[in-house]
Chains A and B, each alone.
Chain A
Amino acid sequence: MLAADPLFFRGLSLAVVVIVIVKVLIVFVVGLVATMFMVWFERKIISGMQNRVGPNKAGPWGLLQTLADGIKLFFKEDLVPERADSFVFKLAPFLAFVPAFLVWCVIPLGGDFSNGRGGLVTIAGHRTLVQLADPPIGILLVLMLSSIAVYGIMLAGWSSGSKYPLLGSVRASAQMVSYEAALGLSIGSVLLVAGTLSTNGIVIAQNTISRWHIIATGVVPFVIFVIAGTAELNRPPFDLVEAESELVSGFNTEYSSLRFALFYLAEFMNTVTMSAIIVTLFLGGPQPITIGDTTLNLHLGPFSGTVWFLLKLFIFLYMYVWLRATLPRLRYDQLMNLGWKVLIPIALGWFMLLAALRVARDEGWNRVVVGVVCAVVLAFSYLLLTAAVRTSSKNREKEGAMF
């Protein structure tokens, strides 16, 4: 199992320290620029879909609009409501913002994955990965950070000392905690196939298009991950957290100025981050498209990995914008039903199926028989679940409406 970055194998020297600092800067700048770009991209695409012009005054094609908005927010009055819990109120935006940033540390942003080179590139005589860190726990760090990001939203709503933000944050934390389970279970399927937790290892495992995890895990975990990821981001159609018609603006209603800007940035950065995670987990990250032995070569030398990564990233950025422009918001009970009664059981069942097939392969059992047995077990579980759901909804009807 390849884990550590070979950059540190020969001890620390000035060049190594400089490379690390440059990497940190790149991750930081890429994060900020990507967020600014994402805001512009979303507004521009949606305006196109709605037959409007969108931002077009600041800079070419309105590219500097986000910067202008940011400067405007910076000079706004910084309000703290009288009934707010001042310390937690000030802490919350950072709790939302920092995890969104940190995820970028473990995402492979490029590199050379051809001929088993494992994403290593040579910079000034030092071989290194084009990612800030590659800890052996890789993808678990992403899950950990997404579970910390819940705090930002939850505490923001609570500390505002006002009703709508509180309702928004209660909704948000319930939603994020629920969908994290489905998210984790679909990541489980990927890990089962890749056999490693390290993000670099996951990318290495996907060296041809048939071994991209979207295909190798059988599409289902990918679909679950995208849906659960959208819910985790609180983006439409799962944006009940800030349902304008019900909650003003949800958890960030009382925020203004720079603190609001931080929430806003975190939201858009999370969208880019989630797309990057999907690309890394399911679409081979910076790996080029390889069918059989033929590789689609971009002839860009060391940058081709990064270009592939960006191309794949754009698919998902566009998808998220598209979803926002087209889909209406779900009702709250629909959201919870989808999470608990559909996504989690399917993810769990699919994980079991993949694990059983894996064991069958290792032990040399007949895979068809194993598959049929699994299908029977899954069908039985499905019947049991539907029976349980039907009984409980009947009982609830008998009792009358609860709230």
Chain B
Amino acid sequence: MIAVENINVGQQVGFGIIALMMIVGAIRVVTNKNVVHAALWLVVVLAGAAAQYLLLAAEFVAVTQVLVYIGAVMVLFLFGTMLTRSKVGNDENLDNRNGAMIGIPVALLLLGTLTYGLLKTYKAERLPLKNTPFNIQQLSDSIFSHYLLPFWALSFVLLAAVIGAIVLARRD
């Protein structure tokens, strides 16, 4: 690996540090007994993902990650937690003891599938080191031409979620 030319050392080091941070964060999410602390560790993991996108010069994706996951999803999550249980401190029932039996195999399966998929698809292909200036226009062009159908499908998922929320909240 070291002998490979065209390797961006700074990027690799950055990746390593952020990945380590994300792993620690992810472990703390599941082991923490305090539900708000667990949520904050999850914020660390999500922010780490955004930082990884930044390292790949995909700033639009990074900002979207922060806006959607940290700015909306986690805020709503914390908001819900505050409304329902305002207790500061640890919650002994938070740990799901039998969870490891299911959780670890599922995690390994996911890792295996992702690794297999990535290696199979891209083989030895790498991102070009000489990064061309990233352009949001190019991104939007490809979303609204090549990937229009997945984009629509995604919108329908969101629509279904909205309708589901209304159905749950309605009382009549």
Whether B70 pairs with A158 at a CB distance below 8 angstroms is no
Q: Give CA–CA (A135, B60) in the complex, Å.
A: 10
Q: Give CA–CA (A158, B81) in the complex, Å.
A: 10
- Interface positions of B from 64 to 105, Cβ below 8 Å from A: 64, 66-67, 70-72, 75-76, 78-79, 82-83, 86, 88-89
Q: Give CA–CA (A9, B64) in the complex, Å.
A: 28
- Interface positions of B from 119 to 171, Cβ below 8 Å from A: 133-137, 171
Residues 111-145 of A, flagged 1 when their CB comes within 8 A of B and 0 if not, give: 00000000000000000000000011100110110
Instruction: Give the residues in chain B near A137, CB-CB below 8 Å.
Output: 59-60, 63, 136
Given A135-B59, A144-B63, check contact A170 B79 (CB 8 Å). yes
Whether A147 pairs with B171 at a CB distance below 8 angstroms is no
Given A140-B60, A173-B78, A395-B171, check contact A148 B71 (CB 8 Å). yes
A83 beta carbon closer than 8 Å to chain B: yes
B5 beta carbon closer than 8 Å to chain A: no
Whether A150 pairs with B137 at a CB distance below 8 angstroms is no
Closest B residue to A135 by beta carbon equals B59
- How many pairs of A and B residues are in contact by the CB < 8 Å rule? 82
- Min CB distance, A268 to chain B, in Å? 23
B45 beta carbon closer than 8 Å to chain A: no
The contact size tier of chain B is 20 to 34
Q: In the complex, which of the residues A1, A84, A88, A147 contacts B75, with contact meaning CB atoms closer than 8 Å?
A: A147
Instruction: Give the residues in chain A near B76, CB-CB below 8 Å.
Output: 177
Whether A154 pairs with B83 at a CB distance below 8 angstroms is no
Given A1-B137, A147-B71, A158-B86, check contact A136 B59 (CB 8 Å). yes
- Min CB distance, A332 to chain B, in Å? 14
Whether B136 pairs with A197 at a CB distance below 8 angstroms is yes
Closest B residue to A4 by beta carbon equals B133
The contact size tier of chain A is 20 to 34
Whether A177 pairs with B59 at a CB distance below 8 angstroms is no
Majority secondary structure of chain A interface residues (helix, strand, loop or mixed): helix
Closest A residue to B137 by beta carbon equals A1
Instruction: Give the residues in chain A near B86, CB-CB below 8 Å.
Output: 158, 166
Q: Give CA–CA (A170, B63) in the complex, Å.
A: 25
Q: Give CA–CA (A148, B137) in the complex, Å.
A: 26
Whether B83 pairs with A170 at a CB distance below 8 angstroms is yes
Instruction: Give the residues in chain B near A155, CB-CB below 8 Å.
Output: 36, 40, 78
Q: Give CA–CA (A83, B64) in the complex, Å.
A: 36
A244 beta carbon closer than 8 Å to chain B: no
Q: Give CA–CA (A1, B137) in the complex, Å.
A: 10
Whether B136 pairs with A177 at a CB distance below 8 angstroms is no
Whether B88 pairs with A85 at a CB distance below 8 angstroms is yes
- Min CB distance, B44 to chain A, in Å? 12
Q: Give CA–CA (A150, B70) in the complex, Å.
A: 10
Whether B66 pairs with A147 at a CB distance below 8 angstroms is yes
Instruction: Give the residues in chain B near A151, CB-CB below 8 Å.
Output: 43, 75
Q: Give CA–CA (A174, B79) in the complex, Å.
A: 8
- Interface positions of A from 76 to 105, Cβ below 8 Å from B: 83-85, 88
Q: Give CA–CA (A98, B88) in the complex, Å.
A: 25
Whether A141 pairs with B63 at a CB distance below 8 angstroms is yes
- Min CB distance, A250 to chain B, in Å? 14
- Min CB distance, B159 to chain A, in Å? 15
16 example contacts (A-B, Cβ-Cβ < 8 A) are as follows A1-B135, A3-B133, A84-B88, A85-B34, A85-B88, A136-B136, A144-B67, A147-B75, A151-B43, A155-B36, A157-B82, A170-B83, A177-B72, A177-B75, A180-B71, A197-B136
10 further contact pairs, Cβ within 8 A, besides A140-B67, A166-B82, A177-B75: A1-B137, A85-B34, A141-B63, A144-B66, A147-B67, A154-B75, A154-B79, A155-B78, A166-B86, A180-B71
Give A residues with C-beta under 8 Å from B.
Answer: 1, 3-4, 83-85, 88, 135-137, 140-141, 143-144, 147-148, 150-151, 154-155, 157-159, 161, 166, 169-170, 173-174, 177, 180, 197, 395, 399
Give B residues with C-beta under 8 Å from A.
Answer: 34, 36-37, 40, 43, 59-60, 63-64, 66-67, 70-72, 75-76, 78-79, 82-83, 86, 88-89, 133-137, 171-172
